[in-house]
Amino acid sequence: MSDNGNAQRLWPAIARRERQRREAAGQLVTLARQAGAGLVGGTLALHVLSGLAPVTFMVGVGVALQHLAAGGDLGAAGRWLGLALGAFVVQQGLAPLLLLLSKEIARRVDRYCLTRFMTFALLDAPLPVMERPDVADRLTYVDEIFEQWTFTPGAATEGGIALAGRYTQLAGAVAVLAWTAGWWPALIAAVVALVVRRGRSEAFFHWGRLNREFTPYQRQTAYVRELATSTRAAKDIRTLGLIGWVEERYAAEAGGLHERLWYWRRRLYGGPFVIYTVLAVAGAAAALVAIARVADGGPPGSAAVGATAMAVQALALCARFGIVFQESDIKMVFGRGAWEALLEIDDIARGATGEPSRTRAVAGPAPAAGPVRAGVRFEGVRFAYRPDRPVIDGLDLELRAGTSTAIVGVNGAGKTTMVKLLAGLYRPDAGTVRVDGTDLRDLDPAAWTRAIAVTFQDFVRYEASLRDNVAMSAIGHRNDSAGILAELARVGLEDLAASLPDGLETPLTRALPGGRELSGGQWQRLALARSLFAVRHGASVLVLDEPTSQLDARGEAEFFDRFLDLTEGLTSVVISHRFSSVRRADRIVVLDGGRVSEAGGHDELVAAGGTYASMFAVQARRFATEAGPAGGKEMQL
């Protein structure tokens, strides 16, 4: 009963593993197609020729020895030695050519995979999918693979093709053994070679699968290491005296990771290595005994020396077949892992959205998003990061074209989430966002990106030139120097380019030669200039999320004095906690619990005595100042 139970468990495991092997082979075929049939076919043929070359060399030398030992025709011996020399020259000549062709295959495949990876990360994947821990782990894994450029999907593809040479060599060695020593030594050598090869490759396969499960631990270790070695957190670590804490944290994270690695290495490679080594030695010994018996039973004389030499060399080649092939196995296990991670990410995105990541390409062209003429409407919109806790819950809101709308509310009211829904970064769980009556999901995403300019509160500080930092919002117009300077002037940075050593070409980071760093307020103004540059080149919707959070009181006042001029003719949305900012908007909307609780003008909402009026009164008391000795005035909110 126990044997039957073991068998019932064993056969499904074997079937599952065979299915995995077929899937792996199918993945390599899929990747190889990206390199082109001609290149792959030619490289495959040359690998087969490369595998035949050492067998030919072995046969040529062995037969030549037979002729020489038997005192036969020296001309025949010379011809066989010439064949061996030719095989040697061919093998040496093929090595650099195969390296060149393999690198070209890897380059083409990696270009395809990297394009797919970046397209997913920058365009196809909904932001909530990108923020999931399981997706983050896979993205980190793929990113590290391409950062190292060693075990990429392209390397896996060229490694799989290189196996053709190895198996051709094995087949040739088995044939030589059968010819020189009989079928029994050949059969023993072939079985041992394939069994040991299968066992070692299986262990390596499981290690590759297991290694991906360590990604969260590797990510944590890399995070602490990056904290300790980069300038991003250097000020805090030094001023807070956290050097010891960072060292202890890194030791703990790295120690936990390495402990897991070594445990599984011993488990996967310890016992199996001993078993397969014993099997290989026993098989080789049995084959040697068989070869010796054939040699003893053969015709007397030294002519059998050549045959015996060929048989022993062929046996040695079979015995070495169980090793891990550096040019193939390592590349296939780790490189194919990156491709599998890409496929898994795609499956996760499909499961989260109910559609494949390239839906737009399948469904055909979507309506273009031109200038907004009527406005944007949120109709019964619901969105939740967790199903049981909606952030936006039944939002009905109209953003009329050509007007400015201010959004206010307490922290967590859903203001920034609403902006991300408007920008198309999130998709509503229920309800619709309509642009001039068309569902935002039906618009061409690239066209809508060009139609909307957004400055987020956590805007990006690009380690690039001043020119590129402004032109990022309309990068096709990066050579519009006059436009860049004009938008810098509109946000109060009219003298910035002139103050930098290389003007617009100055890198905005000290990490690059000739670079300069900006203050927090300058960076925020620059981010505003970036959005205005997009408006200059076609965007008709402007969204500003806490646009003055890093400006001083004077800078904030100057900006909002210009606010109506900056947003004239645009459909604009501004989010701010500072009520001195929002009161200039055409319409003020209060979000509470993910929906609109109040809407109207500043005076109207204050007179209503609701949430807005209470929040305004609290902020007014906070910022009001008593008249000083010099006769100061109360701050006007």
Q: What is the pLDDT of residues 346-405, one digit of tens each?
A: 777 666 554 444 434 334 444 545 577 888 999 999 998 877 888 898 899 999 988 889
Both 398 and 522 in one domain: the answer is yes
List, edge to edge, every strand of the sheet that includes 430-435.
389-400, 375-386, 430-435, 438-439
Answer with the residue of higher pLDDT: 66 or 33.
Answer: 33
**Helices within 120-152 (DSSP H only):** 127-130, 133-148
- Phi-psi bin for 398: left (phi > 0), alpha (psi -120 to 50), beta? beta
The per-residue pLDDT for 70 is 66
Both 347 and 379 in one domain: the answer is no
What CATH number does residue 314 fall under? Answer: 1.20.1560.10
Residue 633 inside a domain? The answer is no
Both 428 and 574 in one domain: the answer is yes
C-alpha 181/C-alpha 179 separation (Å) is 6
Number of domains within the chain: 2
Residue 634 inside a domain? The answer is no
The token pair that represents 447 in the structure block = 């066209």
3-state secondary structure of 433: strand
Both 560 and 615 in one domain: the answer is yes
Answer with the residue of higher pLDDT: 179 or 141.
Answer: 179
Residue 215 inside a domain? The answer is yes
Residue 369 inside a domain? The answer is no
Both 342 and 462 in one domain: the answer is no
C-alpha 72/C-alpha 66 separation (Å) is 8
Per-residue confidence band for 484, with pLDDT thresholds at 50, 70 and 90? very high
The per-residue pLDDT for 192 is 83
Both 329 and 435 in one domain: the answer is no
Both 325 and 431 in one domain: the answer is no
Q: Over the chain, what is the mean pLDDT?
A: 79
Q: What is the pLDDT of residues 563-602, one digit of tens each?
A: 666 777 788 888 887 776 677 788 999 988 888 898 998 8
HSE value, Cβ hemisphere, 13 Å, CA-based, for 26: 7
Residue 12 inside a domain? The answer is yes
Q: Are 522 and 496 in contact (CB under 8 A)?
A: yes
Residue 316: pLDDT over 90:
no
C-alpha 514/C-alpha 474 separation (Å) is 25
Q: How many CB atoms lie within 10 A of CB 389?
A: 9
According to DSSP, the residues that pair with 389 across neighbouring strands are: 386
Answer with the residue of higher pLDDT: 303 or 242.
Answer: 242
The per-residue pLDDT for 368 is 47
Residue 501: pLDDT over 80:
yes
The per-residue pLDDT for 149 is 64
Q: What is the pLDDT of residues 415-467, one digit of tens each?
A: 888 888 898 888 888 999 999 889 988 888 888 888 898 888 888 888 889 99
User: 105-109, 263-267, 389-393: which has the minimum mean pLDDT?
Assistant: 263-267
Range of the domain at 64: 8-353
Both 344 and 461 in one domain: the answer is no
Per-residue confidence band for 202, with pLDDT thresholds at 50, 70 and 90? confident
Both 244 and 383 in one domain: the answer is no
The per-residue pLDDT for 258 is 80
Residue that is last in its domain, among 288, 321, 353:
353
The share of the chain scoring above pLDDT 70, in percent, equals: 81
H or E segment at 471? helix 466-471
H or E segment at 488? helix 481-490
Q: Are 162 and 105 in contact (CB under 8 A)?
A: no
The per-residue pLDDT for 485 is 93
Both 409 and 311 in one domain: the answer is no
Q: Position 6: which residue type?
A: N
Both 14 and 57 in one domain: the answer is yes
Q: What is the pLDDT of residues 512-549, one digit of tens each?
A: 888 888 888 888 889 889 999 998 888 889 998 887 77
Across 398-414, average pLDDT: 87
Q: Are 528 and 455 in contact (CB under 8 A)?
A: yes
The token pair that represents 7 in the structure block = 């068998």
C-alpha 253/C-alpha 256 separation (Å) is 5
The per-residue pLDDT for 302 is 47
Q: What is the pLDDT of residues 37-57, one digit of tens each?
A: 999 999 999 999 999 999 999
Residue 360 inside a domain? The answer is no
Residue 540 inside a domain? The answer is yes
Pairing of strands 595-600, 375-386: unpaired
Residue 525 inside a domain? The answer is yes
Residue 6: pLDDT over 90:
no
Q: Position 79: which residue type?
A: R
What CATH number does residue 387 fall under? Answer: 3.40.50.300
Per-residue confidence band for 9, with pLDDT thresholds at 50, 70 and 90? low
Both 445 and 591 in one domain: the answer is yes
- Phi-psi bin for 77: left (phi > 0), alpha (psi -120 to 50), beta? alpha
C-alpha 223/C-alpha 137 separation (Å) is 13
Across 197-201, average pLDDT: 75
Answer with the residue of higher pLDDT: 426 or 619.
Answer: 426
